[in-house]
Amino acid sequence: MYIVVRRYSGPTVIDALVKLQADVQKVISGVPGFVAYYAMRTGTGGVTVTVCKDQAGTTESTRRAAEFIRQNISAAAGSPPEVTEGETVINF
């Protein structure tokens, strides 16, 4: 499995994702190989985590997330997240 973590600065994105949760679910869960999605608030903004069966899925989820934010969260469109992606080495 692969995981992609996207770190957003400021509360704008996470607040908007909470309000648009049903739309986010449709967009991200439709990614081929989708396994799970999580979003959390942090002291400086927020983090989303997408788990997919393969790297193609995490890459596609990042593309879809960026497009969703550009189209639906204009206040955050100019601030891309810090993206970390990798293969799962422990899973239980």
Tell me if 28 is assigned to some domain. Answer: yes
Confidence (pLDDT) at 78:
63
Tell me if 92 is assigned to some domain. Answer: no
pLDDT tens column, 13-68: 999 999 999 999 999 999 999 999 999 999 989 999 999 999 999 999 999 999 99
- To the question of pTM greater than 0.85 for the whole model, the response is yes
Tell me if 22 is assigned to some domain. Answer: yes
Least confident interval from 3-7, 78-82, 87-91: 78-82
Note whether 53 and 33 are within 8 A (CB): yes
User: Domain with 66 in it: what CATH number?
Assistant: 3.30.70.100
Tell me if 43 is assigned to some domain. Answer: yes
| Alpha-carbon distances, residue 25 vs 43, 44, 78, 89, 90 (angstroms) | 24, 24, 23, 26, 25
The Cβ-side half-sphere exposure at 28, using a 13 Å CA radius, reads 25
Tell me if 21 is assigned to some domain. Answer: yes
Confidence (pLDDT) at 74:
76
Task: Show the domain range for 43.
Answer: 2-87
pLDDT tens column, 69-80: 989 987 765 678
